[in-house]
Amino acid sequence: MNLNIFVVLLCALFAGGHSLKCYECTGVTGSCAGVEKTCPSNSTTCTSVTVTESIGLATVSVAVKECNAPQSCVNGTINFGISRTALSMDCCNTDLCNGKDVTDYSSNTPNGMQCYYCNGISCSNKLNCLGTEDYCIKAQVTSVTALKGCASKSICNVTSQVTQDFVGISCCQGNLCNSAKSITQHLLFLLWPFIFYILIH
């Protein structure tokens, strides 16, 4: 047998027989130690995530470590005006490489872009986008319920994964491109399903 073919087959057999191991935990204090978990075959990445949720003056950080798919590696923010969620994630692909907690990478510096957001009365309010929020986002939940605001490109890139939870999610690039049509919304009930769907898929 050709030596090159033998080496390729040997590597394939080794890779097929090895399952990645990652730490797994959730910590509501922004930190967690994690227990070892053998990942399923479709999870080839270990992730360590810090989710920072700000509502008004209150801020909560949650740490999550788990097995994941490479396409789920996302860093960015989604800003609905009265609420902002930052995802800071480190991804790696060697055994137990996700042991460290992740620092919140997000920036609170205005970047010059504006999008519409909903404040409970109307969706005609203008929001100054921050940090890497270079897109406007609109999540239409029902004909009378919506979320609007600013989002990072990386968040918009995964919106196709959450369409089953909403009637429609769309991102656009350009100031105030997410329309100002008035519509009522219930933000606090809708935000967490969207964020945690991203985290676990």
The answer to whether residue 178 sits within a structural domain is yes
Q: Which domain holds residue 102?
A: 20-200
pLDDT at position 28: 87
If residue 24 lies in a helix (H) or strand (E), which one and from where to where? strand 21-27
Contact (CB, 8 A) for 150 and 136 = yes
The answer to whether residue 131 sits within a structural domain is yes
The answer to whether residue 93 sits within a structural domain is yes
Q: Which tens digit of pLDDT belongs to each residue from 49-81?
A: 999 999 888 999 999 999 998 888 889 999 999
Distances (CA, A) of 167 to 17, 57, 170, 196: 41, 31, 10, 18
Structure tokens at 129: 């986008």
What CATH number has the domain bearing residue 121?
A: 2.10.60.10
The answer to whether residue 194 sits within a structural domain is yes
Counting as low any pLDDT under 50, the low residues of the chain are 1-16, 163-165, 182-201
Contact (CB, 8 A) for 127 and 116 = yes
pLDDT at position 102: 92
Per the DSSP assignment, residues forming a β-bridge with 25 are 65
pLDDT at position 123: 87
The answer to whether residue 61 sits within a structural domain is yes
Closest CA to 118 of 190, 60, 192, 52: 190
The answer to whether residue 6 sits within a structural domain is no
Q: How far is CA 60 from the centre of its chain?
A: 16
Q: Which tens digit of pLDDT belongs to each residue from 79-95?
A: 999 889 999 999 999 99
Distances (CA, A) of 28 to 49, 52, 67, 102: 12, 10, 19, 14
Contact (CB, 8 A) for 159 and 169 = yes
pLDDT at position 26: 93
How many folded domains does the chain comprise? 1
The answer to whether residue 94 sits within a structural domain is yes
Closest CA to 101 of 177, 40, 48: 48
Give the number of residues written for the chain: 201
The answer to whether residue 193 sits within a structural domain is yes
Concatenate the DSSP letters of all residues of 93-154 into one string.
Answer: -STT---S---------EEEEEEEE--SS-S-EEEEEETT--EEEEEEEETTEEEEEEE-HH
pLDDT at position 141: 63
